[in-house]
Amino acid sequence: MTETLERILSRVEKPARYVGGEYGAIIKDKSTVDTRVAFCFPDTYEVGMSNLGLRILYGIKNNMEGVWCERVFAPWPDMEGEMRAAGLPLYALESGDPIKDFELICFTLQYEMCYSNVLNMLDLAGLPLRAAERKDIFPLVIAGGSCAYNGEPLAAFVDAFVLGEGEDMNVEVVRCIQQAKREGLTDKTELLMRLSKIPGVYVPSFYDVLYNEDGTVKSITATHGAPEHPRKRIVTDLDSMYFPCETVIPSTEVVFDRVTLELMRGCIRGCRFCQAGQIYRPVRRKSPQVLVEQARRALEHSGYEEISLSSLSTSDYKGLGELCDGLLEYCEPRMINLSLPSLRADNFSYELMERVQKVRKSGLTFAAEAGSQRLRDAINKNVREEELANTCRIAFEGGYSTLKIYFMIGLPTETDEDVEAIAGLSYRMWQLAKKRSTSGRGVKITASVACFVPKAFTAFQWEAQNTRDEFLRKIELLRAKMPRAINLDWHEPSTSFLEAVFARGDRRLADVLEQAWRDGAKFDGWNEYYDFDRWMEAFRKVGIDPDFYATREHGEDEVLPWSHIDVGVKFSHMLRERHAAYRSEISPDCRVQCTGCGANCLLENGVKCDE
């Protein structure tokens, strides 16, 4: 394999993606290993190596006795072509061994548009795509990540999903496999039955799904003793949780070339469109003292010159000032930049700005989501225009010259007036920035517009998505109203349409996914390879209407493809929030008043949500 790899690497773009050997990569003596794990990220090396979850689970599994976890990324099409021509199967970076010889193949699912790459990687590994066709007990294919909460479109290809946070659950899964190997178990069904007993593990083949004549789900019934409602797992104590202070340092440039420090999990806000804000509940946070120590160790190990504070809403972190002071004491004399993404416009301050820009300034980004106050109330964004204006004033008086504001179109209850209000709000922020700027440079305001995608486990999971034609009409309306002083960019509606199909999809989409892959679909998250017409042709060939999943309003009494999955947040809470949206009523955040979402049930011994 080494000779073959050396020969083809000279003919591909960015060969450093495929050679391994990075500082911090874990190499083990195979004679001490009884369980091989391939951690597969279905995107490029540059994207995957920027993922904190990969680094956490890589470290945890490699700390287990007898286990060797190795990294695998989707090869870019030029490398894939060379591999297929040379008969080189998909291999792990650390050892160069084919992953089809491993006991466990793990995929992380961060985005619906990566599904075609999952199939492509299984095929490159030399494995049958469908779980039912993989008769041998190993390798076992499992998947986790945010998309696993409704993994039904991939159910035919995946042996088991891990629901929720994997730090403890993955250890239990690997130990179960180790025990099966010690016993000499050869029955795959028996192993899956054992795995299904682990809280958080969902084996889709152990659930029978029946459909009504209109195509909706009639029932979902557990078999083989599997739990009726598999419940996600969480980590209750983040301070004691493993953090990769010593980790792999990429030997080529990656998307986020920096230390990422996770402050907390969950979000207090309850935006009605936001899946992450629901599935990562309840709110739990690390202490500033632990974070400062982890940051120092990670920076010393890596030599990075930037550290990013990560959470769903960083400026909501209790003790942010104390944390920033502790970090800057180490970072400032070493010229290490402190970056705070996920800031909110309603709690940005001079004090916070001064801390963020002590080393160097970068642009600021805030999410208004909607142009009108009525629609912001409907989606429970709880940001007022005067708060955004105050943020803009603080930033530009403090020397910033660029500001990006995120919006969505197609939100439930939206009117054309709401769309036009995006242009008006953006222009008012530009006028204020121009008046207040002290940077000595021209100000730049960018309005970035995404298309609303209804997601499972949100208050808007029942909503119909706008059609592609309606999205395009609204984009043209916005372009006509947007002043030339504002930079406007927007997402391609066809991509958002397909994302909605798979976000709310069921098991019948497996045939579409396989057909599209056989027709050449891969890297669908990348513009240069995404082909909307190819996907529509795959739907036509299989005989499935994609509008059934994306642009159809789902009934509130309908059995949804994910109705049997328990994320802690109750469907009754989601319904209350949906009804409040149509009244443009806001719900308080978790610090003001508990709304009774139900996520506290995931905490042990009566412990309350951190907020």
Q: Where are the domains of the chain?
A: 2-222, 259-491+566-582
Tell me how far apart the 2 most distant CA atoms of the chain are, in Å. Answer: 74
pLDDT band at 393 (very low <50, low <70, confident <90, very high): confident
Query: Which CATH number applies to 2-222?
Result: 3.40.50.280
Find the range with the poorest average confidence among 47-56, 253-262, 386-395.
386-395
Residues 6+ apart with CB under 8 A from 237: 284
pLDDT band at 364 (very low <50, low <70, confident <90, very high): confident
Question: Average pLDDT for residues 246-275, to the nearest whole number?
Answer: 93
Tell me: pLDDT of 599 over 60. yes
CA distance 306 to 300: 12
Tell me: pLDDT of 610 over 70. no
Tokens of 49: 């190596």
Side-chain-side CA neighbours of 366 within 13 Å: the count stands at: 25
Beta strands 207-211 and 217-222: pairing type? antiparallel
Quote the pLDDT of residue 605: 58
Residues 6+ apart with CB under 8 A from 435: none
How many other CB atoms are found less than 10 A from the CB of residue 58? Answer: 22
What are the two backbone dihedrals, phi and then psi, of residue 98, each rounded to the nearest 5 degrees? -65, 135
Q: Are the CB atoms for 124 and 83 separated by under 8 Å?
A: yes
Side-chain-side CA neighbours of 383 within 13 Å: the count stands at: 27
Quote the pLDDT of residue 321: 86
Tokens of 562: 């994910």
SS3 98: strand
Question: Average pLDDT for residues 350-361, to the nearest whole number?
Answer: 60
Quote the pLDDT of residue 403: 85
Residue 318: which of 610, 25, 26 has the closest Cα? 610
pLDDT band at 353 (very low <50, low <70, confident <90, very high): low
Tell me: pLDDT of 463 over 90. yes
Residue 411: which of 383, 382, 453 has the closest Cα? 453
Question: Average pLDDT for residues 339-362, to the nearest whole number?
Answer: 64
Tell me: pLDDT of 48 over 80. yes
Strand order, beta sheet including 259-262: 259-262, 306-310, 337-339
Residues 6+ apart with CB under 8 A from 263: 285, 286, 291, 309, 310, 311, 314, 317, 320, 323
**Cα-only R_g, the chain:** 24
For the chain, the average pLDDT equals 93
pLDDT band at 83 (very low <50, low <70, confident <90, very high): very high
Residues 6+ apart with CB under 8 A from 65: none
Residue 328: which of 304, 286, 296, 375 has the closest Cα? 296
Find the range with the poorest average confidence among 204-218, 302-316, 541-555, 567-581.
302-316
Tokens of 533: 């017409």
How many other CB atoms are found less than 10 A from the CB of residue 252? Answer: 14
CA distances (Å), origin 171, targets 60, 177, 282: 8, 10, 22
Q: CA dihedral in degrees (275, 43, 245, 242; nearest 10)?
A: 50
CA distance 179 to 203: 19
Quote the pLDDT of residue 313: 86
Which range of 4-18, 174-188, 244-258 scores highest in mean pLDDT? It is 174-188
Find the range with the poorest average confidence among 181-190, 297-306, 333-342, 513-522.
333-342
Quote the pLDDT of residue 360: 56
The identity of residue 158, as a single letter, is: V
Residue with tokens 């230390």: 259
Quote the pLDDT of residue 348: 64
Question: Average pLDDT for residues 576-595, to the nearest whole number?
Answer: 93
Tokens of 493: 């509606």
Quote the pLDDT of residue 9: 94
Residue 506 backbone zone (phi > 0: left; psi -120 to 50: alpha; other: beta) = beta
Tell me: pLDDT of 355 over 90. no
SS3 161: strand
Quote the pLDDT of residue 611: 52
SS3 108: strand
Question: Average pLDDT for residues 303-325, to the nearest whole number?
Answer: 89
Quote the pLDDT of residue 1: 59
How many other CB atoms are found less than 10 A from the CB of residue 492? Answer: 16
Quote the pLDDT of residue 201: 98
CA distance 210 to 90: 36
**Higher-confidence residue: 364 or 554?**
554
Tell me: pLDDT of 529 over 90. yes
Angle between helices 166-183 and 52-62 (to 10 degrees): 40
Q: Is 144 exposed, middle or buried (0-12, 13-18, 19+ CB in 10 A)?
A: buried
Quote the pLDDT of residue 448: 96
CA distance 552 to 557: 14
CA distance 496 to 388: 27
CA distance 412 to 365: 24
pLDDT band at 607 (very low <50, low <70, confident <90, very high): low
Query: Which CATH number applies to 259-491+566-582?
Result: 3.20.20.70
Tell me: pLDDT of 401 over 90. no
Tell me: pLDDT of 82 over 90. yes
pLDDT band at 442 (very low <50, low <70, confident <90, very high): confident
Question: Average pLDDT for residues 304-310, to the nearest whole number?
Answer: 91
pTM above 0.75, yes or no: yes
Residues 6+ apart with CB under 8 A from 486: 423, 426, 427, 430, 445, 446, 447
Tell me: pLDDT of 168 over 70. yes
Quote the pLDDT of residue 66: 98
pLDDT tens per residue, range 368-383: 999 999 999 999 998 8
pLDDT band at 359 (very low <50, low <70, confident <90, very high): low
Question: Average pLDDT for residues 476-503, to the nearest whole number?
Answer: 96
Q: Are the CB atoms for 14 and 252 separated by under 8 Å?
A: yes
27-46 burial by CB neighbour count: b if 16+ within 10 A, else e? ebeeeeeebbbbbbbbbbbb
